[in-house]
Amino acid sequence: MTACIYLLSDRRYNTATSFLIPTLRTVFGQNIAIHTVDEQGLSHPGMWNPQTTCLVVMPPITGEKSTYNTLLTEKIRRLEYQYIERGGVSWRICASAYHAFQKIEFNSPTPPYHRKEKNSSTPLFSGTAYGPLLGLGKEVDPNRKIHHSIITPIECILDGQVTELYLAYSNGCSFKDLDVNTKVIAHYVYNGVKRPAIVEKNIGHGFVIASGIEPHYGYQKKPPQSLKDINEALRPHEVLRSQFMLALLGRMAQHAVKRDIMKEKDLRTASLQMKSNLEFFPSPDKQSPLAV
């Protein structure tokens, strides 16, 4: 059977999937089917078959009103957990990363600046996802009410070297009270302050990646007018961003190759030629003060 990737895309829940399919295609060739699914599709058991599904992607949302707690029911939680446990890979980005953690702390950056604390209905990690993080950088367009236009530095270990690169940030989270099984792939490092930005955890034979930042947003030659400012801000950082993104997706792809769900020939030639390796930080750094 053809290996496939499932991407949640449901306008009723404000999912934001721009750039994700082209980004996935930088690594996964045309032999790998990419299916978009809505709320109904999430409950289909066939989607959660680790023998055919090499990756499930839960995307960011537009705005602040996340309904992931409603969307990801107890049934979906069980299906996702069992899928990962049996060898699957789940990638949670921004809003869905908040909901991958046991506890959520959200401080609205817009009036009336409300604070929400709740437990996730679909925890894959113990600990707390909290945000948005303030002071990560200057907004590209300061007239925007929501922090959709920030380019901020992160730090990772790429090909054995600690590397700093700049990525798009949009009301995402950091993570605290992590257990020993949760590994840090990248930190926010603005003004010398370090906080986990991307983390990974093994569950059975598979793993889940939670990303508070949005590494799939990259420079485009012909962006929509609404993204013009942030697109230009990303332009000087595109080479390193692309290298990082290839390495992050490469972790997911190579896992599927090792499990014989797909073959090396199913990967893009360019991604194999530009193959880089991401390493975990030895241990999570002590938490540093950062306004939230």
> What pLDDT, in 10s, does the model give residues 131-160?
988 878 766 655 554 445 688 999 999 999
For residue range 5-15, list pLDDT tens digits in order: 999 999 888 89
pLDDT value, residue 181 = 93
Q: Where are the beta strands (DSSP E) in the chain?
A: 4-8, 33-37, 53-58, 89-93, 101-107, 115-119, 125-131, 150-158, 161-169, 174-176, 182-188, 195-203, 206-211, 278-279
**What are 256's two structure tokens?**
């599927």
- Longest CA span, the chain: 52
| DSSP codes, 200-219 | EEEETTEEEEEESSBTT---
- All domains in the chain, ordered by first residue: 4-279 (3.40.50.880)
Task: Give the predicted TM-score (pTM) of the model.
Answer: 0.91
- So what's the pLDDT on residue 150? 84
136 to each of 90, 141, 187, how far by Cα in Å?
A: 27, 14, 12
CB 211 within 8 A of CB 20: no
- The confidence score (pLDDT) of residue 146 equals 46
pLDDT score recorded for residue 112: 67
Residue 4 in this model has a pLDDT that exceeds 90: yes
Q: What is the mean pLDDT of residues 48-60?
A: 96
